[in-house]
Amino acid sequence: MTASHRAFMRARSVIAGGVNSPVRAFKGVGGEPIFMQRGEGAYLFDVDGRRYIDYVGAWGPLVLGHADPDVTRAVADAAARGLAFGTPTEAETELALEVRALMPGLEKLRFVSSGTEATMTALRLARAVTGRDKVIKFEGGYHGHPDSLLVKAGSGALTLGVPTSPGVPAALAAHTLVARFNDPDSVGALFDRHGHEIAAVIVEPVAGNMNCVPPVAGFHEHLRALCDQYGALLIFDEVMTGFRVAPGGAQALLGIRPDLTTLGKIIGGGLPVGAVGGPAALMDQLLPDGPVFQAGTNSGNPVAMAAGLATLKKLKAPGFYETLSQRATDLTTGLSQAAARHGLAYATNAVGGMFGLFFAEGPVRYYEDVMGADVDRFRSFFHGLLGLGVYLAPSAYEAGFVSAAHTQADIKATVAAAEQVFSRLAGP
């Protein structure tokens, strides 16, 4: 019996499902979660002493890899000065200035402690300033778990929202309209019917929670134009893509100016930070200068701010994103070539430091393409790689991440491991 198995049994006795976030439980791939003990650069080490090349990166935040020395030092220094004050600190202003320098559209920000809080706040603000209740989201889009956003369409139908979870009031879900990612006409049709009731469109500019699906050319220009035409706000949920696909996020990469932007993950460098930002006139509608309620005991925590600031500073190193993107494309190209040698249907996507792998013919552009991929094959692939010391996200519907700590040698070792698994999958 492994130490990891014992740890999971103990956890299950006292923590719901044994995990504090459901995907961690390996339900998507079968088997049991691996309990980790420490991380270093590109590697994770489990409680049984096994090493893994990590492509989860704590689900996005660790763009510098695990336990980056500059980040851990900044955290230790901040902690030594006090863990929390519940007063403003200069660290919050420093981080806000750093974010604004990278994303000039965020004239003002408000820090929160998670991506969920950020999208919840953005939605409330959008509804408040427009005086409208409805929002459009995309099938397969994930924005954390505010009630209004835990909604998806039934089998591709463009219809009023159906809650994804029990406990979400149907009356609230009815205000959430669901469109098809990369299909501007599906959004146009919703605006045709409900245009003057729609407060906002919220979108992951590069979809990252139905695996990784880049936007098709012109998609976001279409969203921008529809929002402008109907007076709705365009919310870019950059919790994942912010500082991941480019220093200025997807909005810089795509050349689109959203009205509001939500951030999380990398902005906290591994500690819990989220943010919502946009033009001063909008952001000033939040309390205390405006009437829209928003608050948080742990918001702007000085230790978390220090981790975020130390992380963002390192992203400005010359060539940082070129190298990060190169690693991701070296990985996806290497994997595609290996799969092709074994005659497997395999497709990949990559944008900046995020990537997607699919057992499908490809290209993968739509939610249905993702759903059409062979999940059983993915499960075998996942467990095969895990056994060879490569840690992918334990679900076919999650994006993968590389970090600045991943070397060419790590990528090569990963492709070599994958080649072994592909040859087994292809059979005799």
Ligand X SMILES: *Cc1c(COP(=O)(O)O)cnc(C)c1O
Query: Which residues bind to ligand X, rule: CB under 6 A?
Result: 114-116, 119, 142-144, 204, 208-209, 237, 239-240, 264, 274
Q: For ligand X, which is the closer residue by CB, 398 or 410?
A: 398
3-state secondary structure 91-122: HHHHHHHHHHHHCCCCCEEEEECCHHHHHHHH
Distance CA 209, CA 244 (A): 14
Distance CA 347, CA 30 (A): 23
| Overall size of the chain counted in residues | 428
Distance CA 11, CA 17 (A): 8
* Residue 230 bears catalytic tag: no
- In the bound complex, what is the minimum distance in angstroms from residue 91's beta carbon to ligand X? 20
**H/E segment holding residue 179:** strand 176-179
Count how many Cα atoms sit within 13 Å of the Cα of residue 320 in the half-sphere of its side chain. Answer: 18
How far apart, in Å, are the Cα atoms of 152 and each of 147, 161, 164, 311? 12, 6, 6, 34
CA-nearest of 178, 123, 111, 182 to 147 is: 123
- In the bound complex, what is the minimum distance in angstroms from residue 14's beta carbon to ligand X? 22
Tokens (6 digits) for 195: 């245009």
- In the bound complex, what is the minimum distance in angstroms from residue 145's beta carbon to ligand X? 7
Which residues sit opposite 202 in a β-bridge?
A: 235
CA-nearest of 249, 159, 139 to 149 is: 139
- In the bound complex, what is the minimum distance in angstroms from residue 116's beta carbon to ligand X? 3
- Contact partners, residue 291, CB within 8 Å, separation at least 6: 128, 285
Catalytic one among 46, 54, 183, 237? 237
- In the bound complex, what is the minimum distance in angstroms from residue 417's beta carbon to ligand X? 27
Q: Work out the angle at residue 325's Cα, subtended by the Cα atoms of residues 258 and 409, and round it to the nearest 5 degrees.
A: 155
Q: For ligand X, which is the closer residue by CB, 127 or 377?
A: 127
Q: For ligand X, which is the closer residue by CB, 13 or 297?
A: 297
Distance CA 154, CA 32 (A): 30
* 3 state DSSP class of 343: coil
Catalytic one among 68, 265, 346, 397? 265
Q: For ligand X, which is the closer residue by CB, 208 or 334?
A: 208
The neighbour count for residue 371, using CB atoms within 10 Å, is 16
Q: For ligand X, which is the closer residue by CB, 243 or 422?
A: 243
Q: For ligand X, which is the closer residue by CB, 143 or 175?
A: 143
- Contact partners, residue 248, CB within 8 Å, separation at least 6: 102, 103, 104
Q: Which residue's C-beta sits nearest to ligand X?
A: 115
* Residue 185 bears catalytic tag: no
Q: For ligand X, which is the closer residue by CB, 202 or 421?
A: 202
- In the bound complex, what is the minimum distance in angstroms from residue 425's beta carbon to ligand X? 29
- In the bound complex, what is the minimum distance in angstroms from residue 255's beta carbon to ligand X? 20
Q: For ligand X, which is the closer residue by CB, 338 or 354?
A: 354
* 3 state DSSP class of 184: helix
* Residue 52 bears catalytic tag: no
Catalytic one among 43, 52, 55, 142? 142
- In the bound complex, what is the minimum distance in angstroms from residue 403's beta carbon to ligand X? 16
Distance CA 251, CA 211 (A): 20
User: What is the layout of strands, in order, in the sheet containing 354-358?
Assistant: 347-351, 354-358, 400-401
Known catalytic residues are 142, 237, 265
